[in-house]
Amino acid sequence: MRRGTNLPWVGDYNQAVVLDGIRRSPGTSRTELARSTGLTLQTVSNIVRRLLERELVREDVRRSAAPRTAGKPRAALSVRPGTAVAAGVQFDRDHVVAVLLDLTGDVLDVARAERDGVGPAASVRVAASLVGTLVAAGVERGTVEPGAVRGVGVAVPGPLDFRGPVRSSAINLPGWRGVAVAELLQDHLHLPVLVENDATACAVGELWRSPPGPRSFLHVYVGAGIGGGIVLRDEVLRGESGNAGEIGHVVVDRTGPECTCGSRGCLEACAAPAAVVRSYVGLVGAPAAHRAGLALTESSVLPDHDLLDGLAAAGDAAATAVLRRADEDLADVLIGVVNVVDVGEVVLGGPGLRRGGPRVRAVVHRRLKAAMSHELHGVEVRLSDSGEHAGALGAAGGVLHEALSSSWSTARTPLRATVISPVAPVH
């Protein structure tokens, strides 16, 4: 049964819309907001008054470039820095990254630590310590107001089990299956924790840093595995179990290698960095791979993968072949996803693309141009510019997004939810 909409919720929603509009268009005016949101000027003015009272927004009359009209100066609205901040943490196979994100969209600080193969409990301790250090430093520097931290977003490789306390089902992080990440981190930080699939978090981060939209895109994250996050008209597509966008286990070759998920020939098993390195070794043998400079240890997957890009550029036929195959596999899957979900933009990111990004982009671009969907809507392909902390940034963005969408009547209390809901509420 669809749910109806009672008035208090509508008020929350409109407030979130207005605050988001101010955040994404700094210097905007009440009149512009009314035009862009479709709300009446009176509604916008009432909401802005509340946001000013709560010191989330400020107005700056002098900054206005418009001439005085009817004796009333145009007030430029922007969000106040430092009043609402979120921490974001991303766990990947090799490292932990933490960021502090301001409501204005600025990344205030970044910290990083190697994981060195430690298990989830120790990794969470490391993450908690990174976050604690970032917050303390921010308060000391005056960029963060005490009590402004709304919560911590955590990005972990998917899939995630949202049916109880959010648990990792990550098949790429040994020892993480069944770990209730949010609860562990909350024990250390005493802040609300939102857990998000890393690829979805990247998509949220991309959305968070977008100019006024609406935007629809698929964000591909190549890390230890290959994941995807989907945004449709500024809303994250979550799906029924909260794991939408899981492109890593789309079958690209039924007769291909076994996948850690139990299936065969999944994209991840064929085209993730570890699979590509494995294919190379399969072609040339381990001694030749060593001679070519590959370390072939468990923690050298990404550097080894980067090295293959250089070898291919230098004319190494085996490196060229394995990368081309992986690129085409990824392109096959992306054509399918673009057709099925019908988005006009693909964003490629993650540490697995830090060197080969432009090459992969070119292949995906060429293949998508030949695909059926192209006739009805062009598909842009671009590389993410969020860098290696994209997931942490997105997880923090998710916390602020959730906070914006919640009732700000309790603005100084923490988020209501301690875990992200698997499905976005039906509006």
Six-digit token string for 271: 């085209």
Residue 278 pairs in a beta bridge with none
Q: Which of residues 27-56 bind its own copies (CB under 8 A)?
A: 36-40, 43
349 contributes a contact to its own copies by CB under 8 A: no
Number of residues located near its own copies, criterion CB under 8 A:
78
Q: Which of residues 266-325 bind its own copies (CB under 8 A)?
A: 266
Name the minimum Å distance from CB 43 to its own copies. 7
Nearer to its own copies, 152 or 226 (CB): 226
Q: Which of 112, 296, 328, 354 binds its own copies (CB under 8 A)?
A: 328
Cα gap 345→333, rounded to integer Å = 14
Element (H, E) at 21: helix 7-24
Q: Which of residues 145-174 bind its own copies (CB under 8 A)?
A: 159, 161, 169, 171
CA atoms lying within 13 Å on the CB side of residue 50: 17
263 contributes a contact to its own copies by CB under 8 A: yes
Cα gap 122→142, rounded to integer Å = 30
Nearer to its own copies, 257 or 414 (CB): 257
Given the rule CB under 8 A, which of 110-118, 229-237, 274-282, 355-363 is the region that contacts its own copies?
Answer: 229-237
Q: Which of 118, 295, 371, 411 binds its own copies (CB under 8 A)?
A: 371
332 contributes a contact to its own copies by CB under 8 A: yes
Nearer to its own copies, 22 or 281 (CB): 22
Cα gap 419→424, rounded to integer Å = 12
14 contributes a contact to its own copies by CB under 8 A: yes
Nearer to its own copies, 123 or 216 (CB): 216
Q: Which of 212, 285, 358, 387 binds its own copies (CB under 8 A)?
A: 212
Nearer to its own copies, 130 or 226 (CB): 226
Name the minimum Å distance from CB 400 to its own copies. 15
> Where on the phi/psi map is residue 262: left (φ > 0), alpha (ψ -120 to 50), or beta?
left
Given the rule CB under 8 A, which of 111-119, 261-269, 349-357, 408-416 is the region that contacts its own copies?
Answer: 261-269
Nearer to its own copies, 14 or 300 (CB): 14
How long is the chain?
427
CB-based contact 189:131 (threshold 8 Å): yes
Cα gap 136→85, rounded to integer Å = 13
Given the rule CB under 8 A, which of 10-18, 141-149, 183-191, 303-311 is the region that contacts its own copies?
Answer: 10-18
228 contributes a contact to its own copies by CB under 8 A: yes
241 contributes a contact to its own copies by CB under 8 A: yes
245 contributes a contact to its own copies by CB under 8 A: yes
3 contributes a contact to its own copies by CB under 8 A: yes
Total Cβ atoms within 10 A of residue 37: 16
Name the minimum Å distance from CB 267 to its own copies. 9
Six-digit token string for 169: 């089902």
Cα gap 116→415, rounded to integer Å = 33
Nearer to its own copies, 238 or 389 (CB): 238
Nearest 5°: the CA angle 200, 206, 208 is 100
Beta-sheet strands, E only, within 49-156: 57-60, 76-79, 85-91, 95-102, 107-114, 149-156
206 contributes a contact to its own copies by CB under 8 A: no
340 contributes a contact to its own copies by CB under 8 A: yes
Residue 107 pairs in a beta bridge with 101
Cα gap 323→225, rounded to integer Å = 16
Name the minimum Å distance from CB 412 to its own copies. 25
Dihedral sign for Cα 282, 283, 286, 291, please.
negative
Q: Which of 49, 366, 377, 416 binds its own copies (CB under 8 A)?
A: 377
Name the CA dihedral angle for 159, 161, 162, 168, rounded to a multiple of 10 degrees: -70
Name the minimum Å distance from CB 108 to its own copies. 26
Cα gap 308→297, rounded to integer Å = 15
Q: Which of 154, 185, 244, 419 binds its own copies (CB under 8 A)?
A: 244
Q: Looking at this protein, which amino acid is placed at residue 179?
A: V
CB-based contact 195:160 (threshold 8 Å): yes
